[in-house]
Structure 1
Amino acid sequence: MIRLIMTFMTCFVLDNLLVIFLPIQPIFGAYMVIPNVFLICLSFFTFYDKGFRPLLIAFIFGVLYDICYADLIGLYTCLFPIITFILLRFVSQTMPVNILSMMALVMMVVIFEEWFIYFIVNTMKTTNMTLLTFIKMILIPTAIFNTIITIPIYPILKRQFKKYQRAVLNEF
């Protein structure tokens, strides 16, 4: 369980470190790329634990995400458990676990997350960005970047979650 928490904490911190140390903005110019390593990790985890733990982790880290990174308290606290519930209920039951399906899943989850955040921020009138500008400048580059990031992260997370799954099965 400690290994699992450390994996999630590492991914949580990696979201911010990629923004700080990876020169994303100069490479893409006016486009904006938002790393979602924690969301990738959480999405993968739903395939290895079908119980209550993914929802609990989503809620706890949603609160942490709101405190550390977001301006709106409660946004990620609600969003991460919703995404986790959808993945647990509908996607992880039928989807195979391989790199291509995980890349497609990451693209869908990131698009859903960014779209949801844009909808909330736009509804509250805290942004003046048009929908077309959002899609062109943020949504597409973010989805592509996070899908590419999935390639090096996938084997590491798969190994960690397989160890976790074996440890949970050995408890019973």
Structure 2
Amino acid sequence: MRKFLLPPLIVLFFIMESLFVEFVPPTVFAGNYILVPHFLISVILLLTIYGPKNYGVLYGFLFGLIFDIVYTEIIGIYLLLFPLVAYICYRLMKILQNNMIIAVLISIVGIALLELGAYEMNVLINRTNMSFTIFSADRLLPTLIMNFAFIVIVVYPLKKHFEKLVLSLDS
């Protein structure tokens, strides 16, 4: 039963991400900063850490494609980055111990890798003229802080849900 709840749960966070952008005005958080909610990739990374093996990478491919279709004009940036970041976090968790503090930190590292990858791809195809120092001060750091707060709020309920999912798949 829990495996059927997983796609709607991830879709819910996909929708929450766009609702956050739509309904939270940019001036709420000091105006000049660019805050990018990464609720979807946060959930995919937590699924990678706590969920069944390879689910995070598979959902990364699927929702990376959906993310590209809905939000970007270039198909492939997030289709590549979502599963790549999920795989890197999966490999990091094989090395590190599995507790919630490490999971939160690895998720933040994953979001930073996603932001840096998207920025570098946009620089590569000349879609942005923002310098790296401005990007890191005005977008990367505020984005990481906001997503850190989100992950701290959702890590425990999602951890419990994904662990029960693993148990239900094993039996």
Instruction: Mark yes or no: TM-score above 0.5.
Output: yes
Greater shift, 44-53 or 107-116, is seen at: 44-53
Choose which of 72, 75, 78 in structure 2 pairs with 1:76: 78
| Partners of 2:81 and 2:142 in 1: CA distance | 21
Shift of 1:86: 1.3
2:98 maps to amino acid: P
**Shift in Å, 1:33:** 0.3
Whole-angstrom CA distance in 2 between matches of 1:106 and 1:53: 16
Of 42-51 and 128-137, more deviation after overlay is shown by 42-51
Question: Which residue is equivalent to 1:165?
Answer: 166
Native 8 Å contact 2:89 2:110 kept in 1:
no
Distance 2:24 2:63 in 1: 23
- Kindly indicate whether the alpha-carbon contact (under 8 Å) linking 1:25 and 1:33 is maintained by their aligned counterparts in 2: no
Stretch deviating more after TM superposition (17-26 or 115-124): 17-26
The alignment-based identity, stated in percent, is: 24
Q: Structure 1: which 5+ residue stretches go unaligned?
A: none
- 2:41 pairs, out of 33, 39, 42, with 39
Measure how far apart 1:21 and its partner are.
Answer: 1.9
**What's the Cα RMSD here?**
1.6
More moved, 37-46 vs 159-168: 159-168
1:108-129 superposed Cα distances (whole Å, 9 cap, x missing partner): 1111110111100011111111
Q: 1:163 Cα shift?
A: 2.0
Could you tell me the TM-score, scaled by structure 1's length? 0.90
For the 8 Å contact 1:59–1:77, the answer to whether it is kept is yes
Per-residue deviation at 1:146?
0.3
SS for the counterpart of 1:31 is coil
Measured after TM superposition, the shift of residue 50 of structure 1 is 5.0
Contact 1:47 1:92 in 2 (8 A): no
TM value normalised by structure 2: 0.91
